[in-house]
Amino acid sequence: MGKFNIAVVSGDGIGPEVTAQAERVLEKIGSIYDHTFEFCEVIAGGAAIDAVGECLPQETLDKCLSSDSVLLGAVGGPKWDNVPGDQRPERALLGLRKAMGLFANLRPAIIHPSLKDACPLKPHIIGDGLDILIVRELTGGIYFGERGRRMGELGEEAYDVECYSETEIRRIAVTAFDAAMKRSKHVTSIDKANVMESSRFWRSIVNEVAKDYPEVKLDYMFVDNASMQLIKDPHQFDVILTTNMFGDILSDEAGMITGSIGLLPSASLGSSTLGMYEPVHGSAPDIANQGKANPIAAILTAAMMLRYSFNLSTEAEAIETAVELALDEGCRTADIATEGEAVLSTAQMCDEILARLK
Ligand code: IPM
Ligand code: MG
């Protein structure tokens, strides 16, 4: 029996539609397992630019920091394309990650057996499915390094610096190794150590952390090769450990391999239980407000919140099982339906999941 305060940044585009379904699922979990979830809606991203002229109002930040956990829909859209760089809706995400100290981004890339056909790779490559966990560093590296413009020898130039401290590398490596211990005990650390000094440093610290995990197999891969190996033989990966920038790129690639970005959740965690949970998909403005969006990523995101922030793994599994059952029994939103299959709306898909939630 717990009481949890959840700050909800439903955001832009399909964000509000999908977070509403995640809230319905949490409410049902609350009634089955006797927990209370209080939702506090706050604004960020494009919605906040429109309402108050800035993408991450202080009030939003304060409410997120004092909540037990944050549920986020999606931010951004073409409407704000011409907003100056430091005020774009995406800055709200970066600001929340940094201010909340969420240095670890967990992005599972899973192929549900009933959706194998959605995978764009050949069947013999994908076999029975796929289960990779990407552990992406989230508050350091080139995303947060020194940046600017200056006059150089060839005229004006711009720069963004990639810099990682030992502390930053160590803590994300520990996250990856801890996760590997609960899975297939294999970490692949991905970098560009053949070129970058920050990558060579990254490797040396990861190597040190590995000594505390003798059961975990560790190997290294250059990022260019890794992007190729992900397509050639994705089964060689269990946990991928990587930097902010490389993780951004590789997690989209892994997401595409699963064939359905509308199914992928993610968790951003720090050193306390306060986390931020968001679907991997974006705001999809082209299908916003039409009831077409797939709510499953948002719903699985809520399951990750239960598991990682509230330590409610039974409840998390109940949600995951209900989603699996709905998919196995043929429930499909437009993004995952094949020709001739009946298409459910966002809310109908959630109804089907709720009906299977025990
Ligand atoms: C992601 C997104 C963000 C990122 C953008 C929207 C700032 O691409 O969460 O992967 O680059 O981290
Ligand atoms: Mg990205």
Mean pLDDT of 256-276: 92
- pLDDT value at 306 more than 90: yes
Positions annotated as catalytic residues are 143, 192, 224, 248, 252
> What's residue 25's pLDDT?
98
Reply yes or no on whether the pLDDT at 338 is more than 90: no
Residues 63, 67, 69, 71, CA torsion sign:
negative
Q: 120-257: same fold as 1-102+267-358? A: yes
Cα(267) to centroid of ligand 2, in Å?
13
pLDDT surpassing 90 at residue 174? yes
131-164 tens-digit pLDDT: 999 999 999 999 999 999 999 999 999 999 999 9
Whether domain 120-257 has CATH 3.40.190.80: the reply is no
CA distances from 286 to 171, 256, 281 (A): 39, 19, 13
The pLDDT of residue 248: 95
Predicted local confidence at residue 169, as pLDDT = 98
Q: What is the pLDDT of residues 85-122, one digit of tens each?
A: 888 999 999 999 999 999 999 999 999 888 888 889 99
Closest CA to 297 of 336, 339, 245, 271: 336
- What residue ranges line ligand 1, CB within 6 angstroms? 90, 93-94, 248
The per-residue pLDDT for 10 is: 96
**CB 19 within 8 Å of CB 7:** no
Which residues of 138-209 form beta strands (DSSP E)?
147-152, 155-160, 186-191
Average pLDDT over residues 299-326: 97
- State which of 248, 277, 283 you would mutate to test the pocket of ligand 1, scoring each by most atoms of that ligand within 8 A of its C-beta: 248
Confidence category of residue 339, pLDDT binned at 50, 70, 90: confident
Alpha-helical runs (H) found in 148-194: 166-181
> Class assignment of domain 1-102+267-358?
alpha beta
The Å distance, Cα 212 to ligand 2 centre, comes to: 31
Share of the chain above pLDDT 70, in %: 100
Closest ligand relative to 144 C-alpha: 1
Domain ranges of the chain: 1-102+267-358, 120-257
pLDDT given for residue 163 in this prediction: 98
Check whether 129 has a pLDDT greater than 90: no
Atom of ligand 1 nearest to the CA of 75: 6
Ligand 1 centroid from CA 77, angstroms: 13
Q: For ligand 1, atom 6, which residue shows the shortest CA distance?
A: 90
CA–CA separation, 37 and 7 (whole Å): 10
Residue 29 near residue 1 (C-beta atoms within 8 A):
no
pLDDT at residue 1 greater than cutoff 90: no
